[in-house]
Chains A and B, each alone.
Chain A
C-alpha cells in the first residue's frame, strides 16, 4: 500500500541560498564589526575626505569603499550600521509579528465581537499615513532605539493582523477544526494546537518580510534625522549624508543604499523560500 507520494523530495531553491547567504553575511558583519572594521566608525580624517573606493584613482589603502566628506570610512560605517539595522529588524519584526498575529488569530478564529473590534481597529489604523504616523510617534516618544521599535510595532501590526485573520478564517472552515471539536478539544486549545501550526508558514513568510520593512522604516527615520543620535552610524543616516555630496562622492550614497536594498530584498525572498521549503502540504 505504499506509493510515490512519500518519495517526492523538494530541493532548497537558489533563492533560499542566495538570500540566506547575504543575511548570514550581514549578521556576521554586525557581530564582528569591532574586529573586522578597518577603521573607527566615528574617526574623522579630513585628509582622507572623499577618498574614492579602492579601484579608482586617488584611493587610499584602508578605505576600501572610500570615505565620506568628513573622512570617515564608508565600509566601517556600513558594518556598524548593520548592528542597528538588524536589532531593529529582529526586535521590531518579532514584536510586530507577535502582536499582529495574536490579534489576527483571535479575530479570525473566534469571529463574532472579537473580530468586529479587531477589524474596526485595523480599519481605523489603516486610515493613518504610515510614515507621518511614525514621525508623529517619534516626536511624542523622543528619538532612540526603543522609540523606533515601538513606532514600527504600532504602525505595522495591522499587516500581520489582516493576513493572519484571513488565513485563520480559512483554516477555521476546514473539517479538521470540526473534528477537533468532535474529539472534545476546547476552543482555545484548538486555536493553539490545530490552527496556529497551519497558519505558521504564512506567519514566517510575513515575519521575514516585516524584518525587511523594519529596516526600511528605520532607514527612513534616520534619513529624516528622527532615528538615533548621530554617534551611531545607520544606513539611513549615511544615505542622507551621501545625498548632499552625490556629485562629488557618489560612493557615500551608493554603497549603503545597495546594502539596504540587498538586505531588504533578501529578507522578503528568504521568507518566501522558507514557506515553500517547509510547507508539508503539496499545493
Chain B
C-alpha cells in the first residue's frame, strides 16, 4: 500500500436490520435500511467528523467501520484489505489497528475491573509484551497519574473515566480510532480537556480519527473533513473550511443555523 492511499475506502456500504416493531404472523420481519449505499474515503492522518441528526445512521456507520456491526452489502477496505465480510477469527488480529472510544464510559468500562486491567485487556488479547509498562504509558499519555491503575471505574469522575476509555483505545497503538459522541456526557470544562487531549494524541501518535457528534461546533474545532449524514445517506462530504464557508446542501445549512453563536449582541428569545 502506498503512503498516500486512503486508510479507509468505503464503497456502496449498505446495512439493514429487521424491523423489531413489526411482527408478521408468517415469514421474516421486514428490514429497515439504515445505511443506503455510502461511498467515501478516509485519508491517513485525517480527522473526519461524522454529523447528522438522531437516527441518521452515524453511529451505525462508525460501528460498521470497525466491524462491530456486519454490513449487508458493499465494501469496507481498511489499508488494502476488505474487512466488510471477514470472519471474526481472521479479523481478530487486525483489531489492534482500529479501536474505539465509547460515548458512555460508565457503560464501556467493566465495573468489576481495575483501570489497569481495563487498559491491559486489549494488549493481552493482541499478544503484546511488557503489558504493564504499556498500560502505564497509556495512562501517562492521557494525563492520568499511575496511581489510578488500581482504582475501579466507579471511583473516578466522568472526565477521568473518559480518559481511561481513551487510554484503552490508544494502548495498542492503533492506526484508526472511532470516537462516538465521546464528550456528549461530560460537563463543559471536561469536554474541553478531553478534546484538547484528543487533538494532542492525534498529532503525537499519528492517528486517523473518525469523530461522531451531533455538535457541529465541537466538530468544527477538531475535524479536517466533515461528512454530513441524513437518513442513511451522505448529504455532504467536504473539508471543514469549505463546509462552513459555503455549505452545498440545504440540510447542512439547517444544521449550521442551529449552532448557537457565542455573540453577546445576539438576542436570545
Partner-B contacts on A (CB < 8 A) = 1, 3, 5-6, 174-176, 178-186, 194, 197-198, 280-282
Contact = CB atoms under 8 A, between A and B. Distances in A.
5 contacts: A1-B145, A1-B148, A5-B157, A176-B108, A178-B100
Contacts of A5: 154-157
Interface in B68-102: 68, 88, 92-93, 95-96, 98-100, 102
B168 interface: yes
B143 to A, nearest CB: 9
B111 A1 contact: no
B122 A281 contact: no
A183 B111 contact: no
Contacts of B109: 176, 179
A280 B112 contact: yes
A174 B112 CA distance: 13
B144 interface: yes
A183 B92 CA distance: 8
Nearest to B172: A183
A5 B148 CA distance: 13
Given A175-B107, A198-B112, A182 B154 contact: no
B111 A182 contact: no
B111 A3 contact: no
A281 B95 contact: no
A183 B154 contact: no
Contacts of A184: 92-93, 95-96, 122, 125-126
B251 interface: no
Contacts of A178: 63, 68, 100, 102, 108
A183 B126 contact: yes
B106 to A, nearest CB: 9
Contacts of A180: 121
Nearest to B159: A1
Contact of A281 (B66, B88, B125, B154): B154
B104 interface: yes
Nearest to A173: B107
B152 interface: yes
A6 B153 CA distance: 10
B237 interface: no
Contact of A198 (B92, B110, B151): B110
A174 B96 CA distance: 21
B99 to A, nearest CB: 6
Given A1-B145, A184-B93, A185-B121, A179 B108 contact: yes
- Interface-centre pick from B92, B112, B126 (highest chain A CB count, 10 A): B112
Contacts of B92: 184, 186
B95 A182 contact: yes
B83 to A, nearest CB: 13
Contact of A282 (B68, B95, B98, B154): B154
A121 to B, nearest CB: 22
Nearest to B145: A1
B154 A179 contact: no
Interface string B152-172: 101111001000000010000
B157 A3 contact: yes
A5 B106 CA distance: 14
Given A182-B122, A194-B110, A1 B144 contact: yes
Contact of B151 (A6, A179, A182, A281): A6
A194 B122 CA distance: 13
Given A280-B111, A280-B152, A281-B154, A182 B99 contact: yes
B112 A179 contact: no
B131 to A, nearest CB: 12
Contact of A182 (B100, B156, B160): B100
Leading 9 A-B pairs by shortest Cβ distance: A175-B108, A183-B122, A184-B95, A176-B110, A175-B107, A175-B102, A6-B155, A184-B92, A5-B155
B84 to A, nearest CB: 16
A178 B165 CA distance: 13
A175 B103 contact: yes
A174 B121 CA distance: 17
Contacts of B99: 182
A150 to B, nearest CB: 34
A131 to B, nearest CB: 36
Contacts of B66: 182
Contacts of B155: 5-6
Contacts of A1: 144-145, 148, 160
